Structure 1
Amino acid sequence: MATSSQHTSSFAALGRLLRYARGYRRRIIAATTCSVINKLFDIAPEILIGVAIDVVVNQEQSFVARLGFETAQQQITILAVLTFFIWAGESLFEYLYQILWRNLAQRLQSDLRQDAYEHAQRLDMSFFEARSSGQLVATMNDDVNQLERFLDGGANAMIQVAVTVVAVGAVFFVLSPLIALLAFTPIPLIIWGAFYFQRKAGPLYADVREKVGDLSSRLANNLGGIATIKSFTAELREARRLKQASEAYVEANRQAIRISSAFIPVIRMAILAGFLATFTVGGMMALNGDLNVGAYGVLVFLTQRLLWPLTGLAEVIDLFERAMASTRRILDLLAEPVNVRDQAGKDLEQPVQGRVAFDQVGFHYASSGAGVNGISLEVPAGNTLALVGATGSGKSTLIKLLLRFYDPTHGEIRLDGQAIQDVSLKSLRDAIGLVSQDVYLFEGSIRDNLAYGKPEATDEEIIEAARTAEAWSFISQLPQGLETPVGERGVRLSGGQRQRLSLARALLKDPPVLVLDEATSAVDNETEAAIQRSLRRIGHNRTVIMIAHRLSTIVDADNIAVIDGGQVVEQGDHKTLLALNGAYAAQWRVQTGQVNNADT
């Protein structure tokens, strides 16, 4: 399906790119200047050939003789010297434009990728939930590389084609306006063909970029879920799906190639018409004495120099269209709005005590309508709040709102009395440690992962945090200890080991507020008992907010809030809630095996 960005002109995309690259203006001007000078030197030898023919034919009456060089030998000598300097100048400026354009391509692609990544990090979680990681990786990697390829050679080629038309055209009109008119007759057809191709190819190349993203997404998903694929013996099915995505990419390219391939034969015939006009009419004029023989030689050589490079225009425009399709995707990503605004420079008052308050907080996801409705909860500093309830009741939503992954549509969340929307994201998130059910470990060593929130941590601090989380017992038994590689997403460790490392990582950060989102739901009884012991030790003088399905893990919580349908339906400590004999008590009886026959 065509998107609005596909209908955006490629030249509009180029304008957006130039506005983004305004900090590179001097480099672009320098590279363009070298390209122009190089092309002027490049077409000069054809002019010198014509002048040399004029010298041989007319000798003392030649054009060069009028400049003060009387003998033919002197004229040939000065032409040889000029040829040397022209070729040297052409070589020098070719070296310079290659260096300038290629370095510009490297610098711009690096900065674009970095800016796109940094902007993506600031985007709301809803952005990532609505897009596949494969599409984003394709934009930041393949699309940026496509733009780099254009800047490496395509930009210079486009500039030099324009310079050739202008410079050669000027020489033509000086020597023979009639032949100039004949030689330039095919150019409107060539330009029309180029724009026709651009108009036809633009949407096709946008579709190619989309198919690249789909293919990257399919590869990333399949490689990330290889264990699931194997367990369901779905290798053949996934291979077919990948082939479908790959064939869709091939077909999108085929459509674009069909348009681009038709361009060169048409242009070749237009060039032939222009060359034959110059060759024939100019020859007749030279034979009749209406045109100097040297000028005729210049015109014949320059006609080929003028028209033949235009056959490469199709390839250049092909590269340009691919690059602009990629540019639109990159700049569209950079234009994505950031809704969760960072109040940079307005930090939480230190030291942070950890007093958390939810005041009539409301929020609903646009995609599903689920969320929370007018929740009010108070967590005194150093206390433990447990959130329980069915899946989808709104427990995790409160945590996401506390971390400002989203902002509430109603109400306010405060930390130590300060509205969290009024303080910097860094100071807020530095004050909160998150241990999630879905533990994410980065590829690297155990040390790298433990010190992720505190890179400057000493070995003693790392080991102490690991001991507190009861992770040191297994780390110390590993042959490489803290240097043990964890593998991608921690695949070399067990689920319980990953969970303990996640807890140790949060503890090393030493946050005033610790958030545990289903931290024990996917671990065995031994690991759960170990984490329970850890929580009893670390819960002192620290605010802890826990989400748990296993009620046995929260019996010591100072306050337990039962969430149902986005609202708090019960609240109190364990004994109080059991005495209420409501939803919490019913769930407790189920989990402890106290359900009688009547209940079942």
Structure 2
Amino acid sequence: MHPLKKLFGYARHHRRDVWLATLYSVINKFFDILPEVLIGVAVDIVVSGEKSFLARKVLGGFGITDTWHQLLLLGGLNIVIWGGESLFEYLYSLKWRGLAQNLQHELRLDAYQHVQKLEMAYFENQRTGNLMSILNEDVNQMERFLNGGANQIIQVFCSSVMVSAVFFALQPKLALVSLLPVPLILFGTFWFQKRLAPRYSEVREAAGDVSARLNNNLLGLATIKAFATEDFEAEQIRKSSEGYRNANARAIRVSSAITPVIRMAILSGFTATLVYGGYLTLHDQLAVGAYSVLVYLTQRLLWPLTGLADVADMYQRSMAAIDRVMGIVTTPIAIPYEGKHFPSSGVKGDVRFEAVSFAYGERTTLHDIDLTLPAGKTVAFVGSTGSGKSTLIKLLLRFYEPKSGRVLLDGQPIDSLNLQDLRRAIGYVSQDTFLSDANVADNIAYGDPNISRAEVEAAAKAAEAHEFIAKLPQGYDTRIGERGQKLSGGQRQRLALARAILKNPPVLVLDEATSAVDNETEAAIQKSLETVSRGRTTLVIAHRLSTVRHADCIYVMEEGRVVEAGTHEQLLAADRGYAALWRLQTGERAQGTPTAEGLPA
């Protein structure tokens, strides 16, 4: 489907505004060409006097024979025409620009909201910078086209029709010769457009590549500095920018040829009117006033056609941009949000995985997992990287759908539940903590403006975060910077835990929440967990076994399968993988293992 058709389909609720804006553009163009007609009438009055067009009572004449009165009437008509042109220029500008602003606002919001609903698998093949380019620059490109380009296209079309009508009414033979370039100009413009379309698609893709790389580098600036790779990254940016410049250059080579070609076509039409029209006037086949009208109208019609080059350029840039934006908006949502509504307060927290398998592409990460996680218990998952621990959590949150099997919450398949309600029932603290550039209190009360300061402080105390918050310059009102960069890793984790505690979910998930913190912070988080995990189902994923030693049940995973299960003491007694990992992390030695001196430890 053509991008413009997609946009009109999307903007159907603005149909009335589109029609009004179009009507104002048409009326404005009608008034716009009338001054040239008045010039011809004025010449006719001066030359013909009492026999002028206005002196006749036929063909639109007013029957005014007095030359002075004719000129006064002409002056009055001139005021009306210029006033009408100015009024409708104001009205169409107001409508088109308002429509452009409304559409860009709505399209950006809808596209962003749609992106939020897409499954996590979608983002595995997308770059953040490219998505930002689409949501920002591409939407702005569409706005620029509606601001001016749409009106220009309508007015060029109206000029062609209206001027052609005047030409054929005054001198059909001259009309055929003078207006012959118009269809050639329009055909040439469309011919160039077809060749510009793929080039501007390349330009938008190249722009997205530059944006993606810049976004990635700005987020990783500390690493770039630490590895002293500023020159290397500057070279990568140069290559991306060079690609953008080259893509633009290929488009410019085509778009730059439009205006010269149109000018040559215009030259032939204007010359025909000037020479052939003059010949007809000299041989009394065309009135002097009519000749003046046609000369001015030819200029009024043909010279603005040179603007088609800019319009065509803007149009193709916009179509490429609109195609990318609408591509996001129309991307199917693989994991629907609809389902049975339920209040989180009524959730007990019983979680079951029944024969669950999952694969990232061709790589299977879970194999027929059968687990029952009783309500109110603390359950831990440990294992090497890539064993499938975090994937279980992602399936529970429905970031992904299982390849086979199903996940149940309180005996109900989670794919039958409303997705928002499901996620509201789960408190999630990840290793990569997301914090916004707001103050501490707003980050803890994330998404709920009705939370009181007392509730925020209570959650912070439960997460062992109140002490360090109180030492900040403005306490809970301290802004923490983008992604919380003014805080340490451990402080960010404790804020994330406080946020989850404030949510008061029946199910709490900690996904490597202590992997990047120091021993003191880990101890603080463990202390808070002993309090907040009471009465709720708590799922803990950790590499540090000290974090999970007090869990009611610990599952050891390897290559997508559960290979051990039990309490900390039971797993140590089994003396298998878990026990070996515990000894490795704590420095203990198995009985009979020789020390450095060759003696039993």
User: Do Structure 1 and Structure 2 share a fold, with TM-score over 0.5?
Assistant: yes
Selected match of 2:26 from 27, 36, 40: 36
2:12 is equivalent to residue 22 of structure 1: yes
Match of 1:461 among 452, 455, 466: 455
- Equivalent position of 2:236 in the other structure: 241
Kindly indicate whether the alpha-carbon contact (under 8 Å) linking 1:39 and 1:163 is maintained by their aligned counterparts in 2: yes
Alpha-carbon distance between aligned partners in 2 of 1:268 and 1:240, rounded to the nearest angstrom: 42
Structure 1: distance between partners of 2:527 and 2:344: 31
What is the match of residue 402 of structure 2? 408
Residue number among 489, 511, 519 corresponding to 1:517 in the alignment: 511
Counting only pairs closer than 5 Å after superposition, residues 192-231 of structure 1 correspond to structure 2 as 192-231=187-226
Q: Deviations over 1:231-273 (max 9, x none)?
A: 0011111111111111211111111111111111111111011
Which residue identity does 1:60 align to in structure 2? E
Could you tell me how far apart the structure 1 residues matched to 2:579 and 2:431 are? 24
- RMSD in angstroms over aligned alpha carbons? 1.4
Q: 306-315 or 73-82: which moved more? A: 73-82
User: Aligned equivalents of 2:589 and 2:572: distance in 1?
Assistant: 14
User: Given residue 513 of structure 1, which amino acid in structure 2 is its aligned partner?
Assistant: V
Q: Does 1:435 align with 2:429?
A: yes
Residue 445 of structure 1: aligned partner: 439
Return the offset for 1:579.
Answer: 2.3
Superimposed CA distance per residue, residues 191-237 of structure 1 (whole angstroms, 9 cap, x where no aligned partner): 22201210111111111111111111111111111100000011111
In terms of mean alpha carbon deviation, does 340-349 or 304-313 score higher?
340-349
Partner secondary structure for residue 64 of structure 1? helix
Alignment match, 2:254 = 259
CA positional deviation for 1:581: 2.1
Which amino acid is 1:585 matched to?
Answer: A
Distance in 2 separating the partners of 1:344 and 1:460:
35
In 1, distance between residues paired with 2:594 and 2:284?
A: 119
Q: Distance in 1 between matches of 2:71 and 2:571?
A: 108
Amino acid at match of 1:194: T
Could you say what secondary structure the match of 1:568 adopts?
strand
Give the match for residue 389 of structure 2.
Answer: 395
- Segment of structure 1 superposing worse, 317-326 or 369-378: 369-378
2:378 corresponding residue in structure 1: 384
Partner SS state of residue 538, structure 2: strand
Paired letter, 1:572? G
Q: 2:170 corresponds to which residue?
A: 175
Instruction: Write out per-residue CA displacement over residues 277-300 of structure 1, whole angstroms, 9 at most, x where no aligned residue.
Output: 111111111110111111111111
Aligned partners of 1:209, 1:561: CA distance in 2, in Å? 48
- What is the match of residue 3 of structure 2? 13
Q: For 2:371 and 2:514, how far apart are their aligned partners in 1?
A: 23
Secondary structure, aligned partner of 1:370: strand
Q: Does 1:473 align with 2:467?
A: yes
- Residue equivalent to 1:188: 183
Write the distance in 1 (CA, Å) between the matches of 2:160 and 2:340: 55
Structure 1: which 5+ runs fail to align? 1-7
CA shift for structure 1 position 569: 1.3
- Which digits, 9 at most, give the CA deviation of each residue in 1:557-599, with x for residues without a partner? 1111111111111111112222222221221222222345579
SS across alignment from 2:564: strand
The residue type paired with residue 6 of structure 2 is: R
CA distance in 2, matches of 1:110, 1:348: 33
How far off its partner does 1:116 sit?
0.3
Aligned AA (1:22):
R
Q: Note if contact 1:32-1:159 (Cα within 8 Å) is conserved in structure 2.
A: yes
Give the aligned length: 589
Q: State the alpha-carbon separation in 1 of the partners of residues 67 and 447 from structure 2.
A: 81
Among 101, 112, 115, the alignment partner of 2:107 is 112
2:379 is paired with a residue of what secondary structure? strand
TM-score with structure 2 setting the length: 0.96
Give the match for residue 43 of structure 2. 53
Q: Give the counterpart letter for 2:330 in structure 1.
A: A
Counterpart contact for 1:346–1:422, Cα < 8 Å: no
Q: Deviations over 1:127-169 (max 9, x none)?
A: 1121011000000000000111111111111110000000000
* Match for residue 485 of structure 1 among 470, 479, 485: 479
Change in Cα spacing, 1:292 to 1:454, as seen in structure 2 (3 Å) is: closer
Q: CA deviation at 1:109?
A: 0.3
**Partner letter of residue 53 of structure 2?**
F
Counterpart of 1:531 in structure 2 is 525
User: Counterpart amino acid of 2:443?
Assistant: N
1:582 corresponds to 2:572 = no
1:143 lines up with 2:138 in the alignment: yes
CA shift in 2, pair 1:445/1:349, >3 Å: closer
1:128 aligns with 2:118: no
Structure 1 counterpart SS, 2:200: helix
2:540 pairs with 1:546? yes
Q: Distance in 2 between matches of 1:55 and 1:64?
A: 8
| d(CA) in 2 for partners of 1:592, 1:280 | 101
Q: TM-score, normalised by structure 1?
A: 0.96
Equivalent pair of 1:433/1:510 in contact (CA under 8 Å): yes
Residue in structure 1 matched with residue 599 of structure 2 by the alignment: none
Distance of 1:388 and 1:535 partners within structure 2: 17
Q: Do the aligned partners of 1:348 and 1:418 also contact (CA within 8 Å) in 2?
A: no
Could you tell me the percent identity over the aligned residues?
54
2:148 maps to 153
Question: What CA distance in whole angstroms lies between the structure 2 residues aligned with 1:326 and 1:219?
Answer: 20
SS at match of 1:130: coil
Matches within 5 A, 1:266-415: 266-344=261-339, 346-347=341-342, 350-366=345-361, 369-415=363-409
Distance in 2 (alpha carbons) for counterparts of 1:245 and 1:140: 20
Shift of 1:350: 4.6
Question: 349-358 vs 498-507, which deviates more?
Answer: 349-358
Q: Does 1:98 align with 2:98?
A: no
| Whole-angstrom CA distance in 2 between matches of 1:303 and 1:347 | 71
> SS state of the match for residue 510, structure 2?
strand
By how many angstroms is 1:94 displaced?
Answer: 0.4
Query: Taking structure 1 as reference, are residues 598 and 169 closer, same or farther at Cα in structure 2, changes over 3 Å only?
Result: farther
Distance change (3 Å), C-alpha of 1:106 and 1:536: same
For 2:5 and 2:366, the matched residues in 1 are separated by 44
Using the TM superposition, give the Cα deviation of residue 344 of structure 1 relative to its aligned residue in structure 2, in angstroms. 4.6
> How far apart, CA to CA, are the structure 2 residues paired with 1:350 and 1:574?
31
Q: In 2, distance between residues paired with 1:530 and 1:252?
A: 55
Task: Name the amino acid aligned to 1:37.
Answer: I
* Equivalent in the alignment of 2:565: 571
Does the CA contact (< 8 Å) of 2:472 and 2:478 recur in 1? yes
Distance across 2 between alignment mates of 1:269 and 1:520: 73
Q: Which letter does structure 2 place at the counterpart of 1:589? A: R
CA contact (8 A) 2:555 2:566 kept: yes
2:491 aligned partner: 497
CA shift for structure 1 position 391: 0.5
Whole-angstrom CA distance in 1 between matches of 2:344 and 2:537: 16
Distance (whole Å) between structure 2 residues aligned to residue 444 and residue 478 of structure 1: 14
